[in-house]
Amino acid sequence: MTTPPRSVARSPDDGRPGAALPALPSVAATTGSSLAVQVMTAVRRAITAGEMEPGRLYSVQQLASAMDVSRSPVREGLLRLGEAGLIRFHRNRGFEIVEVSPTDVAEIFAVRTALEVPAARRAARLAGPGELDRIRAQWQAMHEAARTGDLEATARADEALHRLLLLVAGNSQAVQLVERLRTTTAFLGVVAATTRRPVDELAREHDALVQAVLARDEEAAALAMREHLASTAQRLVAQALLAQRTPAERVEELTAQVWGAAAAGY
Amino acid sequence: MTTPPRSVARSPDDGRPGAALPALPSVAATTGSSLAVQVMTAVRRAITAGEMEPGRLYSVQQLASAMDVSRSPVREGLLRLGEAGLIRFHRNRGFEIVEVSPTDVAEIFAVRTALEVPAARRAARLAGPGELDRIRAQWQAMHEAARTGDLEATARADEALHRLLLLVAGNSQAVQLVERLRTTTAFLGVVAATTRRPVDELAREHDALVQAVLARDEEAAALAMREHLASTAQRLVAQALLAQRTPAERVEELTAQVWGAAAAGY
DNA sequence: CGCCGGTGGGTGACATGCTACCCACGGTGG
DNA sequence: CCACCGTGGGTAGCATGTCACCCACCGGCG
């Protein structure tokens, strides 16, 4: 697309360092944006898909040849991921996927609680008629997605609804921060987490929230947002505990403990 | 230092694009770390020093030759700054310093309020004896710096105290986020903002906060933190308004308005 | 058998060449 | 005089070469 080489098919084998990496989804999907962004997307997908795992060392060279691009955009994308805390570099040795601990998840949701509960309050107060319509529309879209059983679409609608409420609350800084936090927790596989319970339960959790905002009831909106986040947080903390081989019978107890410690006061 | 060239003294003139840029502080200071980090530091300094201004277009090539390094580390450093929202890239045209609007400042402090008020509450509850000692020590260090009239040291101690409280509250995610937010507002020149009032006023603002935490009075700590952030926010919003050539007689009114709108509900 | 210093492979960091692309400018035609 | 278009300078993005550095491995020495 840009310069002559490319599509030359990489050298048949490659790295001994971290084992062959399952060839990554060949980028493809994200065409259009810069290669660095495509690399970030591809790595994220590879992580959530379990194709790259914590504890193993990978290198820029390795990824570059696996994706048929040069080291520059790979390096650039990886550095951004590193800054976001998703990978960690070991000088002259490679980089490693950072494991998201249950405590991290709890802390992230504590922060989201601190930001989004007031945002819900403000949204209930500040939303104009047009914005209320958009909120209602987004909410209906989520129920629609849930009705067809489409997990991923439901999760996307969930995200969009949260973003919309933050926007209506009128704090673009908070919108950006929450966006960033979400990309971190996304690694746990929200989809996987919601699989256990029917998707329309996820959709229904928003009913009280949306109705409170539409009714302009600030306190009810704040409370609904708090409960929704707490419930999501506990699901994901449990997920993270399971990913750490926590014995199933202790998960419930530990989840309550971890989330309680992190959330108290927010 | 690394490869042969360097220190060859750049071509005598250089860019027409953004006018000659006052030669930047020649990096120097930050020796030791990577060149990309040195570039970030240098650019930050150049912005706060007014050597680079919003609205003008600069280029990687230009900065690279001005600093006698290649384009790679410059590009890398600038990309990081761009991700932090401090500069904006215009494809194939160059990059531009992003102006921080009064509204942005207000929103940032609204977010900080949402995060740090609960953190103060938690710190008052959770701090162990050793941590209380560290808080007290940091507080005294700030008063010491203020007594000698050292603006920059006082500001640093202020930062350290806030970071310490967030750490004691036990949420490392919040620590990172606040850190990032601070680097953005730093561009307004906290130093300049505090110059107008004696530094020990800044130090004294923390007295109620620290004493509440030491006394383990959660609500008093939360309230003190809220008031301190509101007062700092208003100072910086006013600063941002002045930077936008707002007529002096309207600053007070607009400050109250902007901050009130952004902070209500947090 | 255990320690220890040499050595080679692999990595991040930087320098540099190349290309597609965009915009401003100026000349040309109406 | 004004609209339009070709062209050239300048830029970001990507590819690739190079180097200092670090670590793991290994063979010899105590």
Q: Residue B91: which nucleotide is closest by CA–C1'? A: D12
- Give φ, ψ of A8 to 5 degrees: -85, 0
pLDDT band for position A83 (cuts 50, 70, 90): confident
Q: Which residues of B177-197 are buried (b: 16+ CB within 10 A; e: fewer)?
A: bbebbeebbbbbbbeebbeee
- A165, A125 Cβ separation under 8 angstroms: no
List of chain B residues whose C-beta atoms are within 8 Å of the C-beta of residue A80: 79, 83
Architecture of the domain whose range is A102-263: Up-down Bundle (1.20)
For residue A197, what pLDDT is reported? 62
Residue B102 CB in 7 A reach of strand D: no
Query: How far apart are alpha carbons A152 and A121 in whole angstroms?
Result: 28
The domain ranges of chain B are 28-97, 102-263
Q: What confidence category does residue A50 fall into, taking pLDDT thresholds of 50, 70 and 90?
A: confident
| Shortest CA gap A70–chain B (Å) | 14
CA angle A37, A43, A45 (to 5 degrees): 105
pLDDT along chain B (266 residues), means of 10: 33 35 42 82 86 88 92 93 87 87 94 97 95 95 88 86 95 92 73 59 87 96 95 89 89 96 94
Q: What is the reported pLDDT for A110?
A: 97
**pLDDT reported for residue A148:** 86
Residue A141: pLDDT over 50: yes
Please report which confidence band the pLDDT of residue A119 belongs to, taking 50, 70 and 90 as the band edges: very high
Residues A118-126 have a mean pLDDT of: 96
Quote the pLDDT of residue B47. 84
**CB A69: neighbour CB atoms within 10 A?**
21
Q: What is the pLDDT of residue B77?
A: 93
Q: How far is the CA of A95 from the C1' of C4 (A)?
A: 30
From chain A, the residues in CB contact with B185 under 8 A are none
**Mean pLDDT of all residues in A132-158:** 89
Which whole-number Å values give the CA distances from A230 to A18, A204, A209, in the listed order?
38, 15, 13
Best residue of A173, A185, A229, A236 to probe chain B, by most B CBs closer than 10 Å: A173
* Number of Cβ pairs < 8 A linking chain A and chain B: 73
pLDDT attached to residue A187: 65
Residue owning tokens 């329309």: A200
pLDDT of residue B26: 43
pLDDT in tens, A153-198: 888 898 899 999 999 999 999 999 998 888 887 766 544 555 556 6
Q: Note whether B131 and B168 are within 8 A (CB).
A: yes
Concatenated DSSP letters of chain A = --SS-SSS---SS--STT--TT-TT-SGGGTTS-HHHHHHHHHHHHHHTTSS-TT-EE-HHHHHHHHTS-HHHHHHHHHHHHHTTSEEEETTTEEEEPP--HHHHHHHHHHHHHHHHHHHHHHHHH--HHHHHHHHHHHHHHHHHHHTT-HHHHHHHHHHHHHHHHHHTT-HHHHHHHHHHHHHHGGG-HHHHHHSS-HHHHHHHTHHHHHHHHTT-HHHHHHHHHHHHHHHHHHHHHHHHHHTT--HHHHHHHHHHHHHHHHTT-
The correct CATH number of B28-97 out of 1.10.150.110, 1.10.10.10, 1.20.120.450, 3.40.30.10 is 1.10.10.10
Cα–chain center distance at A148: 22
CA–CA gap between residue A263 and residue A174 (Å, rounded): 19
Q: How far apart are CA B233 and CA B258, in angstroms?
A: 10
Higher pLDDT: A33 or B246? It is B246
Whether A28-97 shares its CATH topology with A102-263 is answered: no
Instruction: Check residue B31 and give its pLDDT.
Output: 53
* Separation between the CA of A176 and the C1’ of C30 (whole angstroms): 52
Q: What is the pLDDT of residue B20?
A: 39
- Contacting residues 72-91/A vs strand D (CB within 7 A): 72-73, 76, 91
> What string of H, E and C letters represents the secondary structure of chain B?
CCCCCCCCCCCCCCCCCCCCCCCCCCCHHHCCCCHHHHHHHHHHHHHHCCCCCCCCEECHHHHHHHHCCCHHHHHHHHHHHHHCCCEEEECCCEEEECCCCHHHHHHHHHHHHHHHHHHHHHHHHHCCHHHHHHHHHHHHHHHHHHHCCCHHHHHHHHHHHHHHHHHHHCCHHHHHHHHHHHHHHHHHCHHHHHHCCCHHHHHHCCHHHHHHHHCCCHHHHHHHHHHHHHHHHHHHHHHHHHHCCCCHHHHHHHHHHHHHHHHCCC
- Calculate the alpha carbon distances from A263 to A34, A107, A140, A181 in Å: 39, 7, 30, 16
- Closest CA to the C1' of C19: that residue is A3
Determine whether the interchain pair B265/A118 forms a contact, defined as Cβ–Cβ distance below 8 Å. yes
Alpha-carbon gap, residue A129 to A123, rounded angstroms: 12
- Strands B87-90 and B94-97 come out as antiparallel
pLDDT 10s digits, A202-249: 788 899 999 999 999 999 999 999 999 999 899 889 988 988 889 999
Single-letter code of the amino acid located at A116:
E
Query: Which of the nucleotides in strand C have any atom less than 7 Å away from a protein CB atom?
Result: 9-23
